């Protein structure tokens, strides 16, 4: 039984850092273990231009703890008025690494997302030509579609037509939650990958609803049946290069989580690596942890893996904070529901 594992420093290919005081509070939790992260652009107002992304990156770097070795990889929020020329300039200048597609109204701060997909065709065509990845929040927002079916319907109605129209477009299906998504990624030979979150490997919809509503397990896309969770765990631990870590760690203060209309999101930045080591050990797949966290993502984004390493050692219970304080209130750290024994150095 392995009790120590050294791997290339991991990256997070889907991360919410927010801004201002929240940014300052949560950034150290990611920078402690991760070398890089794809940073989501759904601020208020959103990051929609190269100038916006450059300014946001500057704020992130200014908030880093002294001595931290962390690189934010910026994204632009795709809107119906996104300028392809601005996208090209930002990409060529090294300011951005991807664009993010939010169907309007799909999740937190997605009101500026896309409703008419015909309007973004010129941007997608330019991205395909330049090799810029498109990160997708893969859910439709049609109120007639059940929330547990919205990922599968998105694949049929939105994603597959986009891929057929732009076969060279490189796409990341973010935070997949269903066997439908796993199967769809596996059906593609090139230009398609998926991120899987820490929490979707740990919870299913029973964890949210059985015995009472647990708001800190509420996220979007919402966790699905256990049968889907089992498929996600198999994909993450399979060593398949098309699947890699994107935590979707999303901080909300407790007052906004525990409310009449609670916010969606699980904050996992603090304990993700300890949780993942536990999951991969459970699946008899510890040798594949490095690929999922540290190798597959850089390969898809055409970057080198991080040069430095971290070591995971199994021992006594890991002592981690249950809350991250901010001036506006506490952010609850995701509770996996089992003891953590993997320490990170």
Identify any residues that bridge with 4 across adjacent strands, giving them in sequence order.
313
Per-residue burial over 12-37, b = 16 or more CB atoms within 10 Å of its CB, e = otherwise = bbbbbbbeeebbbbbbbbbbebbbbb
The first and second tokens of residue 71, run together, are 């690189």
Return the structure tokens found at 10.
Answer: 């991991």
Catalytic residue at 85? no
Residue 175: name the closest of 155, 195, 191 by CA. 195
Rounded Cα gap, residues 292 and 281, in angstroms: 13
DSSP per-residue string spanning 78-132: --TT--HHHHHHHHHTTSEEEEEE-BTTSSTT-TTSBS-GGGGHHHHHHHHHHT-
C-alpha to C-alpha distance for 84 and 115, rounded to whole angstroms: 18
**Distance between CA atoms of residues 85 and 311, nearest Å:** 43
Active-site entry in 3, 183, 248, 282: 248
For residue 103, what are the β-bridge partners? Answer: 114
Query: CB neighbours of 112 closer than 8 A, spacing ≥ 6?
Result: 45, 46, 48, 77, 79, 102, 104
Q: Going along 103-208, which residue ranges are E strands?
A: 134-137, 171-174, 192-196
Q: Which residues are catalytic?
A: 248
């Amino acid at each position: 039984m392995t009790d120590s594992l050294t791997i290339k420093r991991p990256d997070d290919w889907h991360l919410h850092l927010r801004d201002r005081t929240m940014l300052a509070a949560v950034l150290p939790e990611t920078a402690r273990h991760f070398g890089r992260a794809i940073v989501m652009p759904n601020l208020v107002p959103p990051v929609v231009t190269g100038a916006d992304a450059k300014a946001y990156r500057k704020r992130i770097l200014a908030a880093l703890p002294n001595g931290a070795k962390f690189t934010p990889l910026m994204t632009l929020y795709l809107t119906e008025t996104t300028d392809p020329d601005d996208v090209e300039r930002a990409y060529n200048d090294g300011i951005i690494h991807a664009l993010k597609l939010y169907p309007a109204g799909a999740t937190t701060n997605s009101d500026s997302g896309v409703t008419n997909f015909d309007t973004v065709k010129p941007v997608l065509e330019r991205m395909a030509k330049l090799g810029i990845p498109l990160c997708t929040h893969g859910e439709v927002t049609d109120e007639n579609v059940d929330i547990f079916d919205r990922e599968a319907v998105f694949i049929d109605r939105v994603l597959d037509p986009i891929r057929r129209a732009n076969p060279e477009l490189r796409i990341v299906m973010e935070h997949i939650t269903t066997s439908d998504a796993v199967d769809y990624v596996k059906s593609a030979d090139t230009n398609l990958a998926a991120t899987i979150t820490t929490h979707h490997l740990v919870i299913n919809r029973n964890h949210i609803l059985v015995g009472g509503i647990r708001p800190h397990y509420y996220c979007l896309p919402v966790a699905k049946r256990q049968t889907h969770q089992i498929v996600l765990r198999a994909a993450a631990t399979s060593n398949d290069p098309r699947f890699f870590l994107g935590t979707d760690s999303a901080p909300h203060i407790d007052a906004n989580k525990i409310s009449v209309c609670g916010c969606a999101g699980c904050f996992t930045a603090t304990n993700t690596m300890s949780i993942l080591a536990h999951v991969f050990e459970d699946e008899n797949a510890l040798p594949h942890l490095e690929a999922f966290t540290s190798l597959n993502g850089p390969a898809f984004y055409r970057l080198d893996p991080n040069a430095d390493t971290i070591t995971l050692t199994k021992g006594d219970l890991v002592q981690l904070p249950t809350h991250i304080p901010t001036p506006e209130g506490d952010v609850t750290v995701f509770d996996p529901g089992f003891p953590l024994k993997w320490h990170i150095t």
